[in-house]
Structure 1
Amino acid sequence: MLSNSSKYALKAVLYLADKTDISHKLMVRELSEPTQVPKAYLAKLLQALSKHNIISATKGPKGGYFLTKENKELPVFRIIEVIDGNQRIESCVLGIDECNAAHPCPLHEYVSPTRTALLSTLKKMTIGELALDLKKGTSFLTR
């Protein structure tokens, strides 16, 4: 359901949510290793996320990427939407273009309720809420 790009972007944003603020920023090279995302790939993702105001960035010697309070209030779904668009997460798991409730694929009735629930959760849950579990130590991104 999620592309590698979206997975990488989610990991990077959650890492930033956990480790940064306006006074503590991270550069791509500092994010690449702990998130296990190649530097060049990560740089492109972060540029797209910054362009859409999902993360914040400053240039210069004390620059880098970080999350503000406003960034943390955005729904997690916005990350996926910017990186993949809506098509991928809402498409048929078997890749059938014509799959819908009126013309379902064999898995449609099993996948559709789960997908609907997941999308609803991702649209309601904020980046900050998801990152709280990292701060509490009840979830992790790295080993």
Structure 2
Amino acid sequence: MFSKTCEYAIRAMIFIAQKTKQDSRVGIKDIAKGINSPEHFIAKILQDLTRKGLLQSAKGPSGGFYLDKTSMKQSLADVVKAVDGDKIFYGCGLGLKQCSEIKPCPIHFQFKKVRQELSNMLQNARIDAFTEALENNTAFLRR
């Protein structure tokens, strides 16, 4: 459903949010280990998220990645749009360019419902909402 890049971005943002709530900044090595991702790949993703303003970073001995108050309240939809664009919210389920209400693809109306539910879930899911489940060990970011 999401690209691998987007999956890693979402996992990293949640991991960083957890560390931020613990008043900690976190480095690339710890993030990669914490979400089970390749270090070089996650570094590129985090650089892009920082450039787009979804994530903050600080250099130096006490540096690392963190989320400010605004970033903590971002939705998962914000992350998905920043990484994968908004095609998942508006695109055709079969990838057709001309799919519409007037000229629907075979799955248009069923997929429209799924797409709307997914959009609602991602819009309402805030980054900071997932940290408690991680702290309570009722949810996990690693396999």
TM-score normalised by structure 1 residue count: 0.88
Moved over 6 A (4+): none
Partner of 1:136: 136
Cα distance in structure 1, aligned partners of 2:132 and 2:108: 33
Contact 2:89 2:116 in 1 (8 A): no
Aligned length: 143
Answering whether residue 36 of structure 2 is matched by residue 36 of structure 1, we say yes
How far apart are residue 6 of structure 1 and its match?
Answer: 0.7
Deviations 1:62-91 (A, max 9, x none): 210112332111111111111111124432
Identity between Structure 1 and Structure 2 (%): 28
> Unaligned regions of 5+ residues in structure 2, if any?
none
Answering whether residue 8 of structure 2 is matched by residue 8 of structure 1, we say yes
Answering whether residue 113 of structure 2 is matched by residue 113 of structure 1, we say yes
Deviations 1:35-77 (A, max 9, x none): 1221121111111111222222101122101123321111111
The farther-off stretch of 16-25 and 48-57 is 16-25
Deviations 1:122-141 (A, max 9, x none): 11221112333223332211
> Unaligned regions of 5+ residues in structure 1, if any?
none
TM-score normalised by structure 2 residue count: 0.88
Amino acid at match of 2:86: N
